[in-house]
Amino acid sequence: MICIEYPTTTAWLEAVWYGGNTKRNTDESKKWKTKDIDISYHRYVTKVEGNMIEVDAPIFYALDVQYAQAYIYKISNSGTIRHNVGIENLHISFERSPENSTANVDQNCIYMSSLENSWVKGVSMSGFVHAGIKTTSTTRSTIEDCYAIDPSGLCTGGTYYNFENYHRSQLILLKNCYARNGRHHYISNGCASTSGIVVLNFRSELSLAQAEGHRLWSQGILFDNWAELGTIKSNTGKIGMYLRDNMGSGHGWGGTNSVFWNCDVQGGAIYLDKVPTGQNYAIGCTAKTIRRYRNNMSEYTNGYIEGQNRKGLQPASLYEAQRAARGISTGLMPETGREDIPHIIVETNRVRVKSQKDAWISIYTAHGSMVQMFKSSSDNWVESMPLNNDFYVVRVHEAGQKAYSRKVLIRTVGK
């Protein structure tokens, strides 16, 4: 286990315009400084040959010796890292009265810290102040089928982050997640020690600000098949990798060498900046506008844009294509030809179910209360009674088979 370190130097700061602020002649205190944002990667050595070292995962930025000398060192506190920790199938909700609505209580529903090869799956969360799920010092882990909605308390800077990757969050997959009514539904918020994040098949609704690379040079963030739901205010920014300038503590460049692939923000905007010494990409995305954030200054230019508002991008998923090229099943799409699991289709206001055998179908709220139960006959579709806007668990118990459960989101209007 090693750390690959690329220290902040004056030469590098000059190359990246001190975080982007020197071109704007802004507050000196907001400019990036040495040791502010050392780039680091958590890796395992897989091969040593002479003076060449091979590691288990790529890095996401060119460590150019003209700006700084990179080095590696062994990680000495490996015993503090916990492995194979899983949290599954919970609903977590914070309830508070108006007089108890300050931002310093009930910060996060789930906080993943000092973890590796761990996961959160099938968890729904509401009422948090800071984040639904927050990671720090966590690598090679997965957040899947999770719903973070309706935060509460004071909505201000540092709150209402539905999903957040904080310091030293690397090689993390967020898959099939949903966020509603937050400020930043997803942020890479760990500065230059956050990298290698895949946000896959994410659904976002009623966000107050962009999902984004948030501050100080995150690298290698992939938004793959992100979709905004519901009504979108025309040309409002929904996702972005761009210059955040003097926002917050002087966030500067939010992220570099990152990709938006086959994302759909409807009539909203994608903010995409070309960053010095790096690049950001939007490929096959649907948006009213894809542009640099500071669009009135010639020094700032757009990132790489291709195939805007053209349907049918191939491959449809960059992550899935890369996994398939390595001969690894992705699990993104249901396996074809399988008849041993029930079919569950989510429609507006209800669900439809078809099972291979006669079955009892139960529908529960996320709190575990049963709201409906009905029977289906083998190989015939049956539909539920109307349901409200909410999360539900659909449980199908076929005769002689282990019960099969799936969490679904029901919406009464829209797609």
pLDDT given at position 28: 73
Residues whose CB is less than 8 angstroms from the CB of residue 98 and which lie 6 or more positions away in sequence, other chains included: none
99-155: per-residue pLDDT in tens? 666 655 668 999 999 999 999 999 999 999 999 999 999 999 999 999 999 998 888
Could you identify the residue written with the tokens 């099972």?
A: 355
Of 249, 247, 244, 131, the C-alpha closest to 184 is: 131
Domain ranges of the chain: 2-77, 82-325, 343-410
The C-alpha angle 280, 284, 285, rounded to 5 degrees, equals 75
* DSSP labels, 20-70: HTGGGT--GGGS--TTSS-EEEEE-EEEEETTEEEESS--SS---TTT---
Q: How many residues does the chain have?
A: 415
CB 12 within 8 A of CB 68: yes
Query: For 343-410, which CATH class?
Result: mainly beta
Res. 333 pLDDT band, cuts 50 70 90? very low
Q: 350: which strand partners?
A: 347
> In the predicted model, is pLDDT for residue 59 greater than 90?
yes
Alpha carbon dihedral 271, 290, 38, 23, in 10-degree steps, equals -80
CB 286 within 8 A of CB 265: yes
Res. 382 pLDDT band, cuts 50 70 90? very high
How distant, in Å, are the alpha carbons of 114, 236, 261 from that of 307?
40, 20, 10
390-410: per-residue pLDDT in tens? 888 899 998 888 888 888 888
> In the predicted model, is pLDDT for residue 30 greater than 70?
yes
pLDDT given at position 244: 83
Task: For residue 316, give the DSSP letter.
Answer: S
Of 39, 29, 17, 365, the C-alpha closest to 170 is: 39
Distance CA 218, CA 164 (A): 12
Q: Is the pTM of this model over 0.85?
A: no
SS3 content of the chain, % helix, strand, coil (to 5): 10, 45, 50
CB atoms within 10 A of CB 339: 8
Q: 133: which strand partners?
A: 110, 163
| Top-confidence range, 81-95, 245-259, 278-292 | 278-292
The two three-digit tokens of residue 271, written as one number = 């903010």
> In the predicted model, is pLDDT for residue 335 greater than 70?
no
> In the predicted model, is pLDDT for residue 334 greater than 50?
no
pLDDT given at position 24: 57
Task: For residue 206, give the DSSP letter.
Answer: S
Of 186, 325, 194, the C-alpha closest to 263 is: 186
How distant, in Å, are the alpha carbons of 25, 92, 217, 272 from that of 13?
15, 43, 12, 21
How distant, in Å, are the alpha carbons of 153, 154, 400 from that of 98?
8, 10, 50
Q: What is the mean pLDDT of residues 381-389?
A: 92
| Mean pLDDT, all residues of the chain | 88
Q: What is the mean pLDDT of residues 180-193?
A: 93
Q: Which of 48-52, 58-62, 75-79, 206-210 has the least mean pLDDT?
A: 75-79
